[in-house]
A and B are shown apart, each in its own frame.
Chain A
Amino acid sequence: MPETILVVVEQREGKLNRVSWETITAGQAVAAATGWPLEAAVVGASAASIAGEVATKKLAKVYAIESPKLEPYTPDAFSAALKQFLTTKPPKLVLMPHTYQVRDFVPKLATAMGRTVISDCIGFKHENGRLVFTRQMFQGKLAADVSFTSDAPWFATFQNGAFRGDQAEAGATAAPVETVSVEIAVNAIRNKPQEVFKEAKQAVDLTQAEVIVAVGRGIKEQKNIDIAKQLADALGADLAASRPICDNGWLPMDRQIGSSGQTVAPKLYLALGISGAIQHIVGMKGSRTIIAVNKDSEAPIFEIADYAIVGNLFDIVPPLIEEVKKAKAGG
């Protein structure tokens, strides 16, 4: 079996999900370390145009895996299509972005092939001819180096932001594109998905915010949201929150930052009582400056903070509001 790496890029409704470039960058890095050739695949009802877009990058080959049954997305069809393809052309390593769609089908695909997925990786190491993948555990408090103990193909997914998409190397010439038609049985698809929709009134656009004050579980009670709001008002900042706060209805869903909410990159992100679960971090780690206030000195938010304040937010925030007001008043 030739040892190759296959990056499966993600397309939705005929458009390439930009996070796929990050996985190409990751694949190029693994290829450079191992010497294994790198290929890519696009899966969809008509994958050729995206395959052409992907083929501009430095890749040995791009496959367009096609069947009319791949639109709309279902885990049954995607798993069946890729299983068929990977069984005839088994690579050593299959890489994908850790998107909601990939999470939905890749454990099924690997299981159908008697294989495993090292999911949500943030990096890899190639030491003494061995490949290990680094992933976060315990909500980011610890990291683990994980190896495959099974036969190839090995499956790994990379966390959003683990590699830089703009660093995907372009090829000297376009990579050859091969279209592969797969057969999917009519009764193989059991789920009937309806149209994708956005919940009404996404009134708040935090993606353009310059300064964000965000609250997490540490705020304890709904009535305490007010001191965060006062601080946000004093700073002229937008108020945002981690998921549990919006789940509780303490702030509306459109103020949620993270994988299921908005992804932001303000000049300043002030995190109050946010522990820094991975799902939150992916939505805000692009912020230019991060200030975190948390009473737990081991909270993962401090890993990415520029300024750390270990302490009770209820002690810290009230004098901070006063100082900010004084400063604004020119004092």
Chain B
Amino acid sequence: MKILVCMKQVPQKDAPLKLNETGAWIREDVSYEVNEPDAFALEEALRQKEKHTGEVVVITSGPARAQQVLREALAKGADRAIHLEDNAFVGFDAYNTAKAFAAAIKDEKFDLIFTGLQSDDYGYAQTGVILAELLGWPHATIIMQIEKTDAGIKVKRELEAGYFQFVDMPLPAVLTIQSGINKLRYATLIGIKNAKNKPLRKVALAEVQSAVGENLQKIEKLYVPQKTKKTEHIEGSPAEIARKLVDKLRNELRVL
């Protein structure tokens, strides 16, 4: 099976974020990491390849820093990488990102495309589904299990409130992968060494420009959310905090 994994670099979970001068985006001088569901998507692709043979290709878009995500993926076992490299990609909406990806892979023949179910920055939960529609492929979202069948694949979709559903579908297909579908591996030293010699194709914005258009939606303003709740901070040494909290539990909340 030939599998493409769409990956994204996002600010680290506990990175303090500051607005930039436009007020519509963050200052980019923060630490980054791979979008967590994408890491599970990559792991699943590697496991499928180990089971059925084939190739795992990883793709991302973003400035030079985003290459780190691809390097880590190659170190974990991906065979090659595609980097749509330009700062402009950061501001693409999901529709344009999917269009750029579709243009970058137009000469490839994948059986499966995986994305994480959503990104930790924009949180659209859309790019994978849009890509499927652009390619004319079927898709399934929030996937917790993938089995190859004679006719294609059988996937386990997570539904809400603890429900699941198996879905049979033909290939090629796009799947958005849920965190926790598998256990992530670490890159080995030999993997990291080998990654340096694996092919990484850079795609300039100009190469996909004709495929993308204006964004269909626009962030007008980014801001720290207004609190709707009054929060009381409890401060002091741990012992003091414990005493104050127990006082609240007993006298105000009456749970003790």
Tell me how far the C-beta of B217 lies from the nearest C-beta in chain A, rounded to whole angstroms: 5
A149 contacts B215, CB within 8 Å? yes
Tell me how far the C-beta of B213 lies from the nearest C-beta in chain A, rounded to whole angstroms: 10
A307 contacts B217, CB within 8 Å? no
**Within the assembled complex, what's the spacing in Å between the Cα atoms of A323 and B237?**
14
Task: Give B1-49 interface residues, CB cut-off 8 Å to A.
Answer: 11, 13-14, 16-17, 19, 24, 26
A289 contacts which chain B residues (CB < 8 A)? 253
Cβ of B50 within 8 Å of any chain A Cβ, yes or no, is no
B249 contacts A268, CB within 8 Å? yes
Name A's interface SS: mixed
Tell me how far the C-beta of B172 lies from the nearest C-beta in chain A, rounded to whole angstroms: 11
From A108, A132, A248, B139 is in contact (CB under 8 Å) with A108
Binds A, one of B59-67, B106-114, B160-168, B199-207: B160-168
B133 contacts A309, CB within 8 Å? no
B219 contacts A146, CB within 8 Å? yes
B253 contacts A323, CB within 8 Å? no
> In the complex, which residue of chain A has the Cβ closest to the Cβ of B230?
A306
From A210, A243, A296, A328, B14 is in contact (CB under 8 Å) with A296
Task: Give B173-219 interface residues, CB cut-off 8 Å to A.
Answer: 178-180, 214-219
A147 contacts B217, CB within 8 Å? yes
B139 contacts which chain A residues (CB < 8 A)? 75, 108
Tell me how far the C-beta of A286 lies from the nearest C-beta in chain B, rounded to whole angstroms: 13
Cβ of A320 within 8 Å of any chain B Cβ, yes or no, is yes
**Within the assembled complex, what's the spacing in Å between the Cα atoms of A173 and B20?**
51
Interface string of A82-111 (1 = CB under 8 A from B): 000000000000000001110111011001
**Within the assembled complex, what's the spacing in Å between the Cα atoms of A144 and B124?**
12
B246 contacts A103, CB within 8 Å? no
B225 contacts A143, CB within 8 Å? yes
**Within the assembled complex, what's the spacing in Å between the Cα atoms of A120 and B125?**
9
**Within the assembled complex, what's the spacing in Å between the Cα atoms of A104 and B226?**
30
**Within the assembled complex, what's the spacing in Å between the Cα atoms of A118 and B95?**
11
Tell me how far the C-beta of B220 lies from the nearest C-beta in chain A, rounded to whole angstroms: 5
Name B's interface SS: mixed
Interface string of A133-146 (1 = CB under 8 A from B): 00111111111111
**Within the assembled complex, what's the spacing in Å between the Cα atoms of A145 and B225?**
11
**Within the assembled complex, what's the spacing in Å between the Cα atoms of A243 and B223?**
27
**Within the assembled complex, what's the spacing in Å between the Cα atoms of A217 and B227?**
24
Task: Give B112-161 interface residues, CB cut-off 8 Å to A.
Answer: 120-126, 129-130, 132-134, 138-142, 157-161
B170 contacts A260, CB within 8 Å? no
Tell me how far the C-beta of A81 lies from the nearest C-beta in chain B, rounded to whole angstroms: 15
Task: Give A124-183 interface residues, CB cut-off 8 Å to B.
Answer: 132, 135-150
Cβ of B229 within 8 Å of any chain A Cβ, yes or no, is yes
> In the complex, which residue of chain B has the Cβ closest to the Cβ of A318?
B238
Tell me how many residues of A have a C-beta within 8 Å of chain B. 93
B138 contacts A311, CB within 8 Å? no
B160 contacts which chain A residues (CB < 8 A)? 99-100, 259-260
In the complex where A100-B159, A296-B14 touch, is A146 in contact with B220 (Cβ < 8 A)?
Answer: yes
> In the complex, which residue of chain A has the Cβ closest to the Cβ of B220?
A145
A117 contacts which chain B residues (CB < 8 A)? 124, 126
A105 contacts which chain B residues (CB < 8 A)? 129
Tell me how far the C-beta of B29 lies from the nearest C-beta in chain A, rounded to whole angstroms: 15
Tell me how far the C-beta of A166 lies from the nearest C-beta in chain B, rounded to whole angstroms: 18
Tell me how far the C-beta of A153 lies from the nearest C-beta in chain B, rounded to whole angstroms: 12
Cβ of A31 within 8 Å of any chain B Cβ, yes or no, is no
From B13, B134, B142, A275 is in contact (CB under 8 Å) with B13
Cβ of A186 within 8 Å of any chain B Cβ, yes or no, is no
Cβ of A267 within 8 Å of any chain B Cβ, yes or no, is yes
Tell me how far the C-beta of B127 lies from the nearest C-beta in chain A, rounded to whole angstroms: 8
Measuring CB to CB, which residues of chain B are less than 8 angstroms from any residue of chain A? Answer: 11, 13-14, 16-17, 19, 24, 26, 93-95, 98, 120-126, 129-130, 132-134, 138-142, 157-170, 178-180, 214-235, 238-239, 241-243, 245-246, 248-250, 253, 255-256
**New A-B pairs, 14, CB < 8 Å, besides A108-B129, A150-B217:** A79-B133, A103-B142, A141-B224, A197-B163, A235-B255, A260-B160, A260-B162, A267-B253, A268-B255, A307-B232, A309-B235, A316-B238, A327-B249, A327-B250
Measuring CB to CB, which residues of chain A are less than 8 angstroms from any residue of chain B? Answer: 75-76, 79, 99-101, 103-105, 107-108, 111-112, 115-120, 132, 135-150, 190-199, 202, 210-211, 217, 235, 243-244, 246-248, 253-254, 259-263, 267-268, 275, 278, 289, 291, 296, 298-299, 302-311, 315-316, 318-320, 322-324, 326-328
CB<8 Å pairs between A and B, sample of 25: A104-B129, A104-B140, A111-B95, A116-B93, A120-B123, A141-B224, A142-B19, A142-B225, A143-B222, A145-B221, A148-B218, A149-B214, A196-B163, A202-B162, A210-B255, A217-B13, A235-B249, A246-B180, A259-B160, A275-B14, A298-B16, A303-B228, A303-B229, A309-B234, A328-B256
